[in-house]
Structure 1
Amino acid sequence: MSIYDFSLTNIDGSTRSMQEFKGKVLLIVNTASKCGFTPQYKALQALYEDFGPEKFVVLGFPCNQFGQQEPAAEAEINQFCELNFGVNFPLFAKIEVNGANTDPLYRYLKQQAKGLLGSESIKWNFTKFLVDSQGQVVARFASTTKPESMREKIKSLLNKSS
């Protein structure tokens, strides 16, 4: 099994295969619009503009499991992200990242890169997974990790894939 074996639902309801992202460095993030970390959208968009979309893509997955901080429907989430943060990286339909209904992609990500003390659970919104251009999950970052602090790690992965 690899990251490329998954199909996902875009925020507009269409289906998208992870095969589309083969050969690219990915930053996969569970997001929320009413969270203290929501301003990270701006930094995520900046990374996408600086490095993407040919070789680097940010993938955003809205999730309402933490403090009910993503209560809106997909169309409203999409509009909020575009209007407030200029987001044009791929956003997907709302998912669950913990529990019995964990999205299969997130189940895989959590198995590949465990959190603090070996836990698989996602602790909060804006947990980030960095995936290299071969589809290997290389790092997991906490919500508190600012996207701009990952810039050098992303550059390093991009240089390896060139």
Structure 2
Amino acid sequence: MAVPGNATWTPLVRNPKMETFYYVEMTGISIGGTPVAGIAASDLKLDPMTGKGGVIIDSGTSVTRLPGPAYAAMRDAFKAGAAGLREAPGGFSLFDTCYDLSGRKVVKVPTVALHLAGGGVVQLPAENYLIPVDTKGTFCFAFAGTESGVSIIGNIQQQGFQVVFDGVNERVGFVPRGC
């Protein structure tokens, strides 16, 4: 399979306690081009001795999950960057940050990027992090917190990317608009 040259590659991380998942090292997240100060690389790091923590890529999980404090820092940075939008009260299902975008043709939102080991940056398109949840114009920030200790890059954030698992070279690549 030929992989386009614009792939963002990052090494696969082995978890000796849980070998069935594809782990990567996420070093941070930026909102609007600025690293989120409340997310430390250590919040997302796998402890190979205990097998706890880390970040997996999972097409079977819908939304990206982050440890509670890291998620709160990311959400708050996004809300600050989206201050011009009208929040929808109450959230929706597992989403606690939603916006009423009814009647709007153009919406300006801050960018969201995932930073990976090796210097790779996966710049998410807006439709991968602000998703419609009803027919009334409610859109929600498609990330959530977790207390499980394992972070997950979910399938909503993977949409529109060709995600390439290169087992021979022990790496994973993200190709924007690759599928």
User: Fold match, TM over 0.5?
Assistant: no
Give the TM-score of the pair, scaled to structure 2.
0.26
Q: Which has the larger radius of gyration?
A: 2
- Structure with the larger helix share: 1
Q: Kindly indicate which of the two structures has a greater share of residues assigned to strand.
A: 2
Question: What is the TM-score when the length of structure 1 is the normalising length?
Answer: 0.28
